[in-house]
Each structure stands twice: as C-alpha cells, then as structure tokens.
Structure 1
Amino acid sequence: MSLALSRLAAMGDTTRAMLWMIASGLLFIVLNGTLRLLAQQLDPFVTGFLRYSFGVVVMLPFIWHAGWAAYRPANVSGQIWRGAIHTSGLLLWFIAVPHVPLADMTALGFTTPLFIMLGAVVFLRERMVAARWIAAVIGFCGVLVVVSPNLSGGAGLYGFVMLASSPLFAASFLITKALTRRDSPHVIVVWQSLGVALFSLPFALPNWEWPSPGQWAAFAFCGVIGTAGHICLTRAFKLADMSVTQPIKFLELVWASLFGFAVWGDVPGTATWIGGLIIFASTSWIARREARRAKPA
C-alpha cells in the first residue's frame, strides 16, 4: 500500500488527476446502477434524499475525529450555491432515471463533459487546448457508436428531462473546481452531501415511504461509494484543468459494459467493442500527451 502511494506521489499532477478520474468513474458506475434500481422501487425524490443523507452519515466519524472546525469551508456561499445547483440537476435526473433506458441514459449523461469543457474556458479562463477538444469529440463519437443500436427514442419527455440535468451538473462541477482553490476535497464533499440532503428534503417529504431493511443497506452502500467517488473526482479537479480530465470520463461506458457483463451476464455487442476501442484510443492519446506536456523540459 505504501509503495503504491509513493509511486502515485511521484507522478505528475496531470497523471494523478487522470487516475483519480478513472477511480471516480468506476465508483460512479456502481453507484448509478444501484440508484437506478432503488429509484424504480421507491419514490425518486426519496431515493435522492436518502442517498445524500447517507453521504453525511459516512463522513460523521471523520468530522467527529477531526472536529467541526476542520470542516468549516472558506467559502460558505459557494458551498451553498453548489449544493442548490447540484440538487436541481439531481431532481431532474431522479425524475427521469426510472423511465429512461440504460443506453439512452448513458448517451445523455455524456453530454456533461462537453458542457464542462465549454464552461471551463468561459468561466474559469482555462486555455482552449485543441487536443483536449479533439479527444472529447472522438470519445463522444465512441459513445454514440456504442449506444446507437439501442437508441429507441421511447423515453420521450423523460429523455429531455435528463438532458436538462447535464448543464446543471456541469455548473456544479465548475463551482467545485473553483472551490478547490481554498477548500480540501473532504470539506467540499461533506458540504455537498449536507446541501443536497437539505435542499432535497422538501421534495422527499410529500411522497415519503420507508425503505425495507435491504434498501436501507443499499443506501448505506451508496453513501460509502458515492462519497468515495466524489472525493476522487474532487481530487482530480484540484490537480489539473477540468478540460484535461473530461475526456477520461468517456471510459465510464467501458466500465458500464464490463459491470453489466459481470453482474447480469450482458454480453457486449460488436458496436460496444468498436466504440470502446475508440474511447480507449482517445483517452490513452490525451493521457500520454498531457503526461508529456507536464514533464519539465
């Protein structure tokens, strides 16, 4: 373990950011699959509230050990805005997720990196590096190759509802990047869970239903992996430009295919393999390119 950590520390910031992004993608695939099942069994707003409430519960031992002062943010208003915007995106996402086919949901979700890259240029004044945009566009094309055989168009209005959540999530992640300048990833994740739980509570109460013991366990599991995923994501944002990390997100489609095969025995089709190779090529190319750029001359 110590050897792995020392090797990680010896890597450049860009390489470490990409590894954190890959880790977050793996965790979020498991998280989203579990939440989709829960949202089909319980009210979606109740599902969203409990997911982030357990995110707070998971962090309580760390807050107790370090003291609340260690988790007091430097920018309280920014944390509140981030919580409100992220909650807005989640409400739309949870409304749509029980009704949108998995392939359509995956395709719509991958519009978020493009909104993030555009926002990073406009609001965070990141340089518009052509190679990053080329990698993002190629990766998105790979996603379309994978999902195009399964796009039924049957999601109707819910597909547009889920699409509307993408720019809101992008705005939330852009605020996260700005917050990393003054707050640690752990502080940001704690306040995200607090903010989303509080803002989503009024929507959950009118349709409240008590989960079963198995569902409680699933929410606890979501709290652990969701918190870990957001910590990995925030660490990636802290180490590198957001436009560097976004092409890596397209690898999540590969993880989703492998996860589906391992859990449900879904055999990836030809389109999945071709699209996966395109995604892998684009992410590998930008990763190697950025690693070379980060090396001192």
Structure 2
Amino acid sequence: MSNLKTFLAPQLITSYFHSLSAPTKGITLALISNALFILVGVIVRDLSQTIDIFQILLFRQLVFVALLVPSIVSSWQAMTHPKMPMMHAMRVTGAFIALYFSFLTVSNIPFADATALGFMKVLFVAIISRSFLSETVGTQRIITIIIGFIGVLLVVQPTMDSNSLFYIGTGLVAALGAAVAVICVRKMSVVESKVVVLAYQAIFVGLVTLIPSILAWQWPTITELTLLVLVGVISSIGQWFGVTAYKWGEANVVSNVEYSQMIYSMLLGYFLFSELPNTLALGGAVIIIISALIPFVFRKTLKNRLSK
C-alpha cells in the first residue's frame, strides 16, 4: 500500500495543480520559485564560510549551462547570430553584478536585511525604465515604490558603522545590477529567443568568474561539492518555476508575490541563524508586503467600479 501511495502522490499533486484557476497556478508557482531562491541564499551563506564567492558563482553557472545544453544545440543558429549583442553585454554585466554582490551581501549581514535590500530593484527598474524604455511611471506606482522603500529602511535600519554601510552598499549595487538585467531582458524579449537570452547570461557570467575562481580556488569536500551543485540545480529550477508562473498569472499579480521572500527570509533567518527581527523590522516587513498588495487592491477596486 505504501508503494502505491508513493506512486500516486506525484499524480495527485499534478491533478490538484491542474484543477486550480490560472491566477492561482501562477501565484503557487511564484511562491515555490521564491522559496527556492531563498533556499539558494541559505546554501550560499553556508558555503561562503569556506568557499570563495567567485567559485560558488562559477559552479552555479556551470550547472546552468549543462542543463541548457539540449536547448542550446537545438537553437544553435540563433545562438551564433545574436540580434542585439550590445544589449547581451549589458545584460551579462548586470547579471554578474547582481549575482556576485547579492551572494556577498547575504553572506555577511542578517538574512532578512539582504532580502529587503534586494527589493530596491523595484525602485531602480522604475527609474531606468522611465528614461531607457520611455515607460510611464504613474502616481500609484511612485507611491508604492516610496512605501516599499520606507519598509526596506525599517528592516535594514542602516547605521553609520563602516562594516554595516559597506554591505548595505553591496546590497544596493546588487539591486542595481538586477534592475539593469531586467531592463535589458525587456528590451531583448521582442527580438531574441528565451534560450539565447538565458544561454548567453549563463555562459558569459561563467567566463567572467573563471579567472577569479582559479586564483582563489579551493578543492571542495564531497559535502561542499554537493552544495555547490545544489546551488546551480535549485537556481535553475527556481528560475523555471518563476518564468512559468507568468504563463498562468498576470504579470502584476505574479511579480507582487516576490515579496513573499521577505517572510521566508525572516523565518529562515530566525530558525537557522537565530536572527530575531525587532519590532521596527517586523513593521518594515509588513509595510513592504502592503506596498506589493496596493496595485492589486487598486486594480480590483477599479474593476469593480467599472463593472457597476
């Protein structure tokens, strides 16, 4: 009977998932994706005690490339003829900065603080998209960003301590790099295939980290090697869940679910690293989540009014 239950479990989960509405599917996948990326942060934090961050990043990219090989082979013509090479270069630069500095940040400051700083990407995307993509940033969006920024300040609670300021700075640099990468993907998505965009990022970020990794190389133990591979595998799965979430749910709803990372990071920070957030930090987390819900509530209210 136990074997039968084991065999049927995946089918039951699949059947249950298909019974959900499209928006619920999107939200569910996004929640899973966010949890996986927080888990990657936990592993990176542990690995960084003995393995250089460049080496961690190199292994991440190697695993990512290995998983992409079938897609790269089937899209070889597009791979060898990129339509926007300069945009790819900017995206790779942004992705490298985002990955390296986010790994550095999460390894040196409280888990929730590092996560909160990552949400500054929203502010940077709004600023860059306004000038670079000529996108309009409405009053509602500006208010949402300001509220979210206040929440980030309450969670991080920056001090004038030089060590604290340094890692707050690396977190902000990571958020800026992520914003640049997002804007570049938006720009390229019109003409470049998803495989080309993902493969170029995976390959060239790996190449950038190669020499620094060799210079700081340390042969990992079996446990460390397992964790290094897991960073790549979990990141790849998380990215797949995240991309697929947008297939089912509306972009504004799915993107707001990203703020669930704040809850995950506080819980894991407490249970794994004994990082107990104070009252201000908890209030800041609530504010960040509220800032994410504002567009959804506003849109639903507007829809109800128009339907009357």
Instruction: Check whether TM > 0.5.
Output: yes
What are the residue-to-residue correspondences of 1:86-235 with 2, within 5 Å? 86-95=95-104, 97-148=106-157, 154-234=163-243
Cα pair distance change 1:7/1:191, threshold 3 Å: farther
* Cα displacement (A) at 1:194: 1.6
Are 2:144 and 2:292, in contact at CA under 8 Å, matched by a contact in 1?
Answer: yes
Could you tell me how far apart the structure 2 residues matched to 1:282 and 1:95 are? Answer: 27
- Relative to structure 1, the CA distance from residue 75 to residue 244 in structure 2 (aligned partners, 3 Å threshold; closer, same or farther) is farther
Q: Counterparts of 2:47 and 2:124 in 1: how far apart (Å)?
A: 28
Once the 2 structures are TM-superposed, how far is the Cα of residue 276 of structure 1 from its aligned partner?
3.0
RMSD over aligned CA atoms reads: 3.7
Aligned 8 A contact 2:61 2:232 in 1: yes
- How far apart, CA to CA, are the structure 2 residues paired with 1:256 and 1:177? 28
* Shift, 1:179, TM fit: 2.5
- Shifted more, 268-277 versus 133-142: the winner is 268-277
Is residue 2:88 matched to residue 1:75?
Answer: no
The offset of 1:42, in angstroms, is 0.9
Q: Measure the CA separation in 1 of the matches of 2:200 and 2:243.
A: 13
Aligned to 2:157, the other structure's residue is in SS state: helix
1:152–1:37 distance in 2 versus 1, CA, 3 Å: farther
The percentage of counterpart residues that share the same residue type is 24
Q: Which moved more, 1:215-224 or 1:134-143?
A: 134-143
Contact 1:146 1:275 in 2 (8 A): yes
Q: Which moved further from structure 2: 279-288 or 96-105? A: 96-105
The one-letter amino acid of 2:148's match is G
Which residue of the other structure, out of 46, 60, 65, is the alignment partner of 1:37? 46
Distance 1:177 1:262, change over 3 A: farther
Distance 1:95 1:34 in 2: 13
Unaligned runs of 5+ in 2: 1-13
**Counterparts of 1:122 and 1:269, CA distance in 2:** 38
Q: Deviations over 1:108-146 (max 9, x none)?
A: 333222101211222222221222222222223223223
Residue of structure 2 in register with 1:289 after alignment: 298
Deviation at 1:68, TM superposition (A): 4.2
The change in CA–CA distance for 1:92 and 1:205 in structure 2 (over 3 A counts) is same
> 1:82 Cα shift?
1.6
Shift of 1:174: 0.9
1:88, 1:240 → 2: CA distance?
29
Q: Which residue of 2 is the match for residue 63 of structure 1?
A: 71
Instruction: Provide closer, same or farther for how the CA distance between residues 294 and 185 of structure 1 changes in structure 2, counting only shifts above 3 A.
Output: farther
TM-score by length of structure 1 reads 0.78
Q: Which has the larger radius of gyration?
A: 2
Match of 1:251 among 239, 244, 260: 260
- Cα-to-partner distance string for 1:271-290 (whole Å, 9 max, x where unaligned): 34433332332222322334
Q: Structure 2 vs 1, CA of residues 291 and 124 (structure 1 numbering), >3 Å: closer, same or farther?
A: farther
Supply the distance in 2 between the matched residues of 1:245 and 1:123 (Cα, whole angstroms). Answer: 24
In the alignment, the residues of structure 2 paired with residue 196 and residue 294 of structure 1 have an alpha-carbon distance, to the nearest angstrom, of 43
Counterparts in 2 of 1:39 and 1:103: CA distance versus 1, 3 Å: same
Check 1:240–1:177 CA distance in 2 against 1; reply closer, same or farther (3 A cut): farther
Q: Deviations over 1:9-52 (max 9, x none)?
A: 4x4xxx87766654443222111221122122111211211122
3-state SS, counterpart of residue 134 of structure 2: coil
CA distance in 2, matches of 1:101, 1:24: 21
Q: Which moved more, 1:197-206 or 1:248-257?
A: 248-257
Question: How many residue pairs were aligned?
Answer: 291
Which residues of structure 1 form unaligned runs of 5+? none
Identify the range of structure 1 (122-131 vs 159-168) with the bigger mean alpha-carbon deviation. Answer: 159-168
Paired with 1:122 and 1:243, the residues of 2 have a C-alpha distance of 21
> Aligned equivalents of 1:192 and 1:94: distance in 2?
17
Cα deviation digits, residues 185-240 of structure 1 (max 9, x gap): 45533332222112211221211112111111112211122113333444567899
